[in-house]
Structure 1
Amino acid sequence: MTTTRTATYLGHARIIRSEELAFEPQEGLRTTVATPVSPEAGATWVTLHVARIAPGETWSPPHTLEEENTAVVFAGSGRLTVDGESRPAGPASAAYAPTGRTLALTADDAGLTVYVWRSPLQQGRRPGADPKVFSSLWDETTRLQGFAGTGQVSAEGRRAAMNFVFWPGSGSCQLCLHCGIQEPGETFNVHLHPDSDEAFIAFEGVGQMYLVDRWVDVAAGDVLYAAPGVLHGARNPHTGPEARRFVTCGGPTPFDPALYDAAGVSTEVI
């Protein structure tokens, strides 16, 4: 297997470096938005926006009544609002807007950079009765630990933990959000989702993402997209006194029950 730090495009899989993101101005605003993942770019289910919201401005992603939206603050500060309910936000804050609810992102004087996942619902899926709409990547209430992958690539020894931020147990029925925390020397092992898009980002630090057949060097802000059936994973190969954790976030859309089965929790949407 080879290792590279350059941009990687492998069929229905790709890693887009943060400096490659193409931002476009939004009408009437100073806010700019890039869209590295979308059905127009070959994705099956998911659209991923990166919004740089100018100080004092509010931006909402375009949506339909049959779509879910999930947002993670990457940098800056402001407020996240779901259908009029609002929370102050900073790095690692997250919001989930179920079908039919509006997501609004407001920057304070520091500006706000937010990654936003969007997806239409599959037929027959509905959000939970009282879904959680605000959280943080650091919420450890429900975790997957010791994940060995799905067998196509040998598991590595020290295994990273994954927080379930929005998931069926919190009322999210399709567009779930997970946070992988790879401490120095740890790996979230290589796996695939047979029926789901995977779109996730490097949120903090430097590390590597596995894509198709190789490990690729990445840094905070980079984006990975893997079509259904494409192998992917994350690891922190760095060790020693200067090594720091490597954090990723995102998730398969629609959610893959295998992850919750591996964690020993129910896949029922509550």
Structure 2
Amino acid sequence: MSNLIRRATGVVLRGAELEYRPHGECWVSPMVGPEIGAQFVTVDAVKIPPGGRWAPPEAAGEENVAVVLAGSGAGTVDSESSPMGAASALYSPTGSAYSVSAGDTEMTVYVWGSVLPEGSPRGSRPARFRSLWNAETRLAGFPGTGQVASASRTATMNFLFWPGTGSARLCLHCGIMMPEETFNVHLHPASDEAYFVFEGTGQFYLEDRWIDLGPGDGVFAPPNVLHGARNPQSGEEARRFVAFGGPTPFDPALYDFAGVSAEVR
């Protein structure tokens, strides 16, 4: 996996350096997994050719979240389907099968997977399709966990798939950072975190420093590794910086900060 820039414990991932290999009619590049120290989650980058379909047979044995970075087509979870384009996402719970089909252009999709431990609570009617722009439930004013000084201008995070939508283990959050805003540095005591840039250029914090990243890039932070994100741009030409991802298993502390229940609905 030559696309990896290794740190002492965290890993920086560069989307432009991914090495795709054929997988049926699609192309796949592993990004996060046991080979870089992930205990709870995998993330694969998938390219689906025009008219092609991604439908992994092992999907029913794990939780999955898929996010479209580019292209358009349709997604299906069991018998429920929806159009999908850039910023669309789907959640497929354990026991369900999902697929993503490309239309007339190639699709790039990032796919999370995690095995739900036996006996874990499951959602009764989980949400299957969302958008990164869904602002129904949000976290604002997040102060971080205190190891690094908080910024004065804090970004807002959308909760897309989380216990409140019936997601049993995986979550998907979207941080929208306007110029000079920061999603403050924090850590998760018992979760792997994988998150990526959807739009714009900005910086992710990993372990002890800020790192410049652009669309398709990301980081992996295992438990107790500090991470965060910020948009350092200013001035008339500055644009928003959008990142997506989340800890696996989900971290109840984030929902406590937002004042919502972390019980699986």
Q: Normalized against structure 2, the TM-score is what?
A: 0.96
Note closer, same or farther for the CA distance 1:62–1:35 as it changes in structure 2 (3 Å cut).
farther
- Give, in angstroms, the shift of residue 85 of structure 1: 1.5
> Is 2:233 aligned against 1:235?
no
Give the percent of matched residue pairs that are identical in Structure 1 and Structure 2.
56
Specify the SS of the correspondent of 1:109.
coil
8 Å Cα contact 2:50-2:103 kept in structure 1: yes
Gaps of 5+ in 1: 1-5
> Is 2:220 aligned against 1:225?
yes
8 Å Cα contact 2:156-2:175 kept in structure 1: yes
> Is 2:204 aligned against 1:205?
no
Cα distance in 2 for residues equivalent to 1:190 and 1:63? 35
Specify the SS of the correspondent of 1:260.
helix
Gaps of 5+ in 2: none
Question: Partner amino acid for 1:192?
Answer: L
Q: Aligned match of 1:17 in 14, 19, 31? A: 14
- Give, in angstroms, the shift of residue 39 of structure 1: 1.8
Note closer, same or farther for the CA distance 1:214–1:62 as it changes in structure 2 (3 Å cut).
farther
Cα distance in 2 for residues equivalent to 1:170 and 1:56? 31
Q: Normalized against structure 1, the TM-score is what?
A: 0.94
Q: Aligned match of 1:175 in 170, 175, 188? A: 170
CA-based RMSD of the aligned residues comes to 1.3
8 Å Cα contact 1:201-1:222 kept in structure 2: yes
8 Å Cα contact 1:147-1:262 kept in structure 2: yes
Q: How does 1:113-192 map to 2 (within 5 A)?
A: 113-192=108-187
> Is 2:85 aligned against 1:90?
yes
Alignment size in residue pairs: 263
8 Å Cα contact 1:77-1:112 kept in structure 2: yes
Aligned to 1:3: none
Cα distance in 2 for residues equivalent to 1:18 and 1:250? 15
1:83-142 CA deviation, whole Å, 9 max, x = no partner? 131111111111000011011010011111111100011343132100000110100000
- Give, in angstroms, the shift of residue 64 of structure 1: 5.2
- Give, in angstroms, the shift of residue 62 of structure 1: 4.9
Specify the SS of the correspondent of 1:258.
helix
Cα distance in 2 for residues equivalent to 1:234 and 1:140? 19
8 Å Cα contact 1:206-1:246 kept in structure 2: yes
- Dislocated runs of 4+, deviation >6 Å: none
Q: How does 1:42-57 map to 2 (within 5 A)?
A: 42-57=37-52
8 Å Cα contact 2:50-2:105 kept in structure 1: yes
Question: Partner amino acid for 2:10?
Answer: A
Question: Partner amino acid for 2:158?
Answer: N
